[in-house]
Amino acid sequence: MTKFRIEKDTMGQVEVPADKYWGAQTERSRNNFKIGTPASMPLEIVYGFAYLKKAAAYTNTELGVLAEEKRDLIAQVCDEILEGKHDNQFPLVIWQTGSGTQSNMNVNEVIANRAHEIAGKVIGEGEKTIQPNDDVNKSQSSNDTFPTGMHIAIYKKIVETTMPGIIKLRNTLHDKAVVFKDVVKIGRTHLMDATPLTLGQEFSGYVAQLDFGLKALENTLAHLSQLALGGTAVGTGLNTPKGYDVLVAKYIAEFTELPFITAENKFEALAAHDALVETHGALKQIAVSLNKIANDIRLMASGPRSGIGEIIIPANEPGSSIMPGKVNPTQAEAITMVCAQVMGNDVAVTVGGTQGHYELNVFKPMMAANVLQSAQLIGDACTSFEENCVAGIEPNHTRIAELVSNSLMLVTALNTKIGYYKAAEIANTAHENGTTLKHEAVRLGYVTPEEYDAWVKPEEMTGGLK
């Protein structure tokens, strides 16, 4: 039998499970928003709150509006939250108020009750040692804390998970581009045979795509580093002591060891979440790149007998429950599914970004959760794709050579010697007769065998860019 205690808020009394630190407002949210339960508010956002609540307590004390003992209690609980000791105290869902007020109050209530316990008191008995609204939420509103928490969470996720994953994949693709620099293969445009290039050149294109993507993502960090805290309810900073916004951002930067600063314009920071739209735009760009790269790789690896088969990818697991010996490009399938999810999330983030009415954007939890999901998925998928697929890619030299020598588009090398029309006639005739280019070129009397061998050299058709 669950035991309950009574918690109060401005609307009255609420029964709360006795073994939980949360209070009346969290419990009301639990009861009023049974949407996609269990808890879906990302813990990263809760941790972002823990950093900012600790920073707010330090700033409030330094500016003379919070007693030192209260600061120390608040900071101690924030540290415990950051150590993961209270992960089960945050039961709320994304699908709640669009300001995230109930998650802000969830953090305030947990900090207050746990602080009461640390102070040697019994939760639910006597006056609270720390008040959730007056002490933990001092100089704050949900309207500036939630955007601050989400910026901290997303910034950390991008630098700790997303970028390292992309860089790891980028570096391995680069290593492969170097190793494959002399492997001449047939190019394809419109999915049809084209002139040759090297496998290294092809892979260097993938590297460049990811370099541009990384640059785009890095460029979004400046906007993400700007924090709304200090704006309070509508951006004016009502109920904050002078200098609070700059100092609280300084403390957040110190505690997170990341370059956070106070937002230049708090009205923008509360009412618009263009920073998230911008960041997700870069994540979408990377998803588009990854989708192209993974598709190329799985098509090049198709076969083994009836496909293109130009590269061999690691056989990590049996691919089929019914077809013995079948191996599938599962890593490419996983990463392209991630790309689809990220592209879908981009629509949600874009719609969310439009929902700023006057002084407040009210799609905060949904936007934050989607950006966090995309950032996590891209980082993890890049790491998985690198370790389980790209690192093990080997060229199938025999098949590559066979496809190059069979290609009719080698005839392009003759354009400058005999003209486009005669070259086209050679290609068309070879195709119709099922013969080789050389055979038809000589038979039609346009070149001698020696000229053909001297002029049609696939390795000299790759443009010298290695």
Ligand X SMILES: O=C(O)C[C@H](O)C(=O)O
Q: Which residues are designated catalytic? A: 190, 320
Contact between 462 and ligand X by CB under 6 A: the answer reads no
Q: By CB under 6 A, what part of segment 211-240 binds ligand X?
A: 233
Number of residues engaging ligand X in binding (CB under 6 A): 7
Shortest Å distance, C-beta 226 to ligand X: 20
Shortest Å distance, C-beta 90 to ligand X: 17
Annotated binding-site residue? 407: no
Q: Are 453 and 413 in contact (CB under 8 A)?
A: no
First to last CA, the chain: 71
Closest of 152, 165, 143, 122 to residue 42, by C-alpha? 152
Site string for ligand X, 365-404 (x = CB under 6 A): ----------------------------------------
Contact between 25 and ligand X by CB under 6 A: the answer reads no
* Segment interacting with ligand X (CB under 6 A) among 9-17, 135-143, 335-343, 424-432: 135-143
Contact between 141 and ligand X by CB under 6 A: the answer reads yes
Contact between 99 and ligand X by CB under 6 A: the answer reads yes
Contact between 143 and ligand X by CB under 6 A: the answer reads yes
Annotated binding-site residue? 295: no
* Segment interacting with ligand X (CB under 6 A) among 140-148, 304-312, 334-342, 380-388: 140-148
The one-letter amino acid code at 203 reads: F
What residues have CB less than 8 Å from 406, skipping those under 6 apart? none
Angle at 227 between CA 360 and CA 88, to 5 degrees: 85
Annotated binding-site residue? 101: yes
Q: Is the dihedral of CA 370, 371, 375, 378 positive or negative?
A: positive
Radius of gyration of the chain (CA): 30
Among 25, 59, 96, 101, binds ligand X (CB under 6 A): 101
Of 26 and 345, which CB lies nearer to ligand X in the complex structure? 26
Cα separation, 336 vs 14, whole angstroms: 47
Look up residue 89 and give its two tokens.
Answer: 């105290």
Cα separation, 124 vs 138, whole angstroms: 22
Annotated binding-site residue? 141: yes
Shortest Å distance, C-beta 148 to ligand X: 12
Of 8 and 457, which CB lies nearer to ligand X in the complex structure? 8
Annotated binding-site residue? 142: yes
Cα separation, 323 vs 326, whole angstroms: 6
- Outline where 354-455 has alpha helix (H): 364-388, 397-406, 415-418, 420-433, 437-443, 449-455
Of 154 and 360, which CB lies nearer to ligand X in the complex structure? 360
Cα separation, 303 vs 355, whole angstroms: 48
Annotated binding-site residue? 412: no
Contact between 26 and ligand X by CB under 6 A: the answer reads no
Shortest Å distance, C-beta 101 to ligand X: 4
Contact between 96 and ligand X by CB under 6 A: the answer reads no
Other CB atoms within 10 Å distance of the CB of residue 355: 16
Q: Are 27 and 18 in contact (CB under 8 A)?
A: no
Q: Are 78 and 116 in contact (CB under 8 A)?
A: no
- Residue 41, classified by CB atoms within 10 Å of its CB into exposed (0-12), middle (13-18) or buried (19+), is buried
User: What stretch of H or E contains 107?
Assistant: helix 101-118
Shortest Å distance, C-beta 274 to ligand X: 19
Contact between 29 and ligand X by CB under 6 A: the answer reads no
Q: Are 301 and 395 in contact (CB under 8 A)?
A: no
Shortest Å distance, C-beta 229 to ligand X: 12
Cα separation, 38 vs 418, whole angstroms: 72
Contact between 142 and ligand X by CB under 6 A: the answer reads yes
Of 228 and 286, which CB lies nearer to ligand X in the complex structure? 228
Of 142 and 148, which CB lies nearer to ligand X in the complex structure? 142
Of 101 and 331, which CB lies nearer to ligand X in the complex structure? 101
Cα separation, 346 vs 41, whole angstroms: 19
Of 214 and 362, which CB lies nearer to ligand X in the complex structure? 362
Of 365 and 458, which CB lies nearer to ligand X in the complex structure? 365
Shortest Å distance, C-beta 364 to ligand X: 9
Shortest Å distance, C-beta 84 to ligand X: 26
Site string for ligand X, 331-370 (x = CB under 6 A): -----------------------------x----------
Instruction: Give residue for tokens 């394809």.
Output: 188
Cα separation, 447 vs 59, whole angstroms: 84
Annotated binding-site residue? 442: no
Look up residue 50 and give its two tokens.
Answer: 């823990």
Q: Are 372 and 290 in contact (CB under 8 A)?
A: no
Q: Which residue numbers belong to the known binding site?
A: 99-101, 141-143, 189, 321, 326-328
Q: Which residue numbers belong to the known binding site for substrate?
A: 99-101, 141-143, 189, 321, 326-328
- Chain contacts with ligand X (rule: CB under 6 A): 99, 101, 141-143, 233, 360
